[in-house]
Amino acid sequence: MNVDEEIHQLKQEIQRLGRKQNDGSYKVTFGVLFSDDRCANIFEALVGTLRAAKKRKVVAYDGELLLQGVHDNVEIVLKPEPEAA
């Protein structure tokens, strides 16, 4: 799986596990994502996929490197898809 495919899969998992917000974004905590069995089986390096998605402005979260336990309560926001014109 290449990076684009992993980011696409990450978006689906955040939508599955997260809460939809009024602006169309989804929020999930790092701890929920990290401890989910399905995510553990999909993503070889969840933190790396999150960093790539953040760099591409697909997701937003505070900090650079997320660590299990230390950052379990950090909210990850999947930004809403731009509406087609």
Predicted TM-score (pTM) of this structure: 0.91
Confidence of residue 84 (pLDDT cuts 50, 70, 90): low
Rounded mean pLDDT, 8-20: 97
Task: Tell me what pLDDT residue 28 has.
Answer: 98
pLDDT of residue 85: 57
Residue 59, classed as helix, strand or coil, is: strand
pLDDT tens, position by position, 36-58: 999 999 999 999 999 999 999 99
Asked if the model's pLDDT at residue 22 lies above 90, the reply is: yes
Structure tokens at 59: 């997701």
**Nearest Cα residue to 14 out of 79, 78, 82:** 78
Alpha helix (H) residue ranges in 1-85: 3-17, 30-35, 37-42, 46-55
The tokens for 28 are 């999930």
Q: 64 in helix, strand or coil? A: coil
